[in-house]
Amino acid sequence: MSGRRVPLGEALARRLAGTSALRHLDRFGWNPLRHPDLRSGRMGRMSEIDGMGTERATCVLAPNPSMMTLDGTNTWIIGEPGADEVAVVDPGPDDRVHLARILEKVGDRRVGVVLLTHRHPDHAAGAARFAGMAGAGVGVRALDPRYRLGDEGLAEGDVITTGGLELRVLEIPGHTDDSVAFWLPADRAVFTGDTVLGYGTTVLEGRLGDYLSTLERLRELAGEQDVATLLPGHGPRIDDPAGALDGYLAHRRERLAQVEEAVRAGARTAREVVEIVYADVDRKLWPAAEWSVQSQLDYLDERG
């Protein structure tokens, strides 16, 4: 795509290199610069994400890059080769230029259904408008009823068929409680939304216990079904699903161990844990840390 070769990752890396901001982000697990490909300067280019995919799936990158959305939101067009109907996953923000561009990529095929991985506006805000642009009667299917258009929702075990395509729905709470993944057996690919990102780690709005179970479930699927690729809601595709999921699990368990250690040292509240674990971090970031630590304490409590 001409005219939009923005080396976001590199620009970001240059801006953050050696700053305390990077250290703080790293501490929260938000460091998008940890990805080895990004560090080596091979990645972080929008032009490499836009248009990526598998035999059946193609990414249309939304122009909404930020610290939280990385290079922008990945919208996915999925269709059987030669079929006249496709599914669109996560139309993205309510950005008319982006929505029109998705339709342009759909071309003369029909949009059979619009699917949402979860309710966050960078994935869902443009869905209703996009469905309207795509034609009369095009529905939006989501786990959360508030984000649906039409009668059909999404639930664990649903099989979505459109234009000969088959997608299987997995409920994967954690990032949010309405997060779902779509398993595309024909390409051995899983659309992970924000549950697993192309690089960095995700921020949890849901419960940590749910998120850990979700990661374990995806890890199992990766092994059992020999999953070849994860197609995330942000960032590049992941071609080593098992390795990436093992890394996510290790990262979460490591943070949990730090909190457990602080509790053993006498910390009783989230604030007290933060005072120990985040002692050398700017106090302005403590409230955010407290929120994340609280979910870890809740999890340790439930686990007993």
CB of 217 to Zn ion, least distance (A): 19
CB of 173 to Zn ion, least distance (A): 12
Q: From residue 2 to residue 31, what is the string marking binding to Zn ion with x (rule CB under 5 A)?
A: ------------------------------
> Residues 57, 233: contact at Cβ < 8 Å?
no
Q: Select from 45-53, 116-124, 126-134, 279-287 the region that touches Zn ion (CB under 5 A).
A: 116-124
Q: Alpha-carbon torsion 29, 32, 34, 37, what sign? A: positive
90 lies in the site for Zn ion, by CB under 5 A = no
Which of 57, 25, 77 is CA-nearest to residue 199?
25
71 lies in the site for Zn ion, by CB under 5 A = no
Angle between helices 241-264 and 270-277 (to 10 degrees): 110
CB contact set of 149 (below 8 Å; sequence gap of 6+): 114, 127, 128, 131, 138, 139, 140
Q: At residue 192, what are phi and psi to the nearest 5 degrees?
A: -100, -5
CB of 117 to Zn ion, least distance (A): 8
290 lies in the site for Zn ion, by CB under 5 A = no
- What does the alpha-carbon distance between residue 284 and residue 59 come to, in Å, rounded to a whole number? 37
* Own/partner pairs, 257-263, CB within 8 angstroms, 24+ separation: 259/293, 259/296, 259/297, 259/300, 260/300, 263/297, 263/300
Residues in the chain: 304
Q: Select from 41-49, 70-78, 192-200, 280-288 the region that touches Zn ion (CB under 5 A).
A: 192-200
Q: Select from 36-44, 76-84, 112-120, 162-170 the region that touches Zn ion (CB under 5 A).
A: 112-120
Q: Which is nearer to Zn ion, 171 or 194 (CB)?
A: 194
CB of 182 to Zn ion, least distance (A): 15
Residue 75 bridge partners (DSSP) = 60
Q: Which of 24, 35, 98, 120 binds Zn ion (CB under 5 A)?
A: 120
Q: Select from 84-92, 115-123, 159-167, 251-259 the region that touches Zn ion (CB under 5 A).
A: 115-123
Element containing residue 181 per DSSP (H, E):
strand 180-184
Residue with tokens 């923000």: 93
171 lies in the site for Zn ion, by CB under 5 A = no
CA distances from 138 to 127, 171, 213, 241 (A): 10, 23, 33, 32
Q: Which is nearer to Zn ion, 120 or 255 (CB)?
A: 120
User: Which residue type is seen at 118?
Assistant: H
234 lies in the site for Zn ion, by CB under 5 A = no
> Residues 187, 56: contact at Cβ < 8 Å?
yes
CB of 298 to Zn ion, least distance (A): 20
119 lies in the site for Zn ion, by CB under 5 A = no
Q: Which of 50, 194, 210, 290 binds Zn ion (CB under 5 A)?
A: 194
Q: Which is nearer to Zn ion, 120 or 237 (CB)?
A: 120
Q: Which is nearer to Zn ion, 162 or 214 (CB)?
A: 214
Q: Which residues contact Zn ion by CB under 5 A?
A: 120, 194
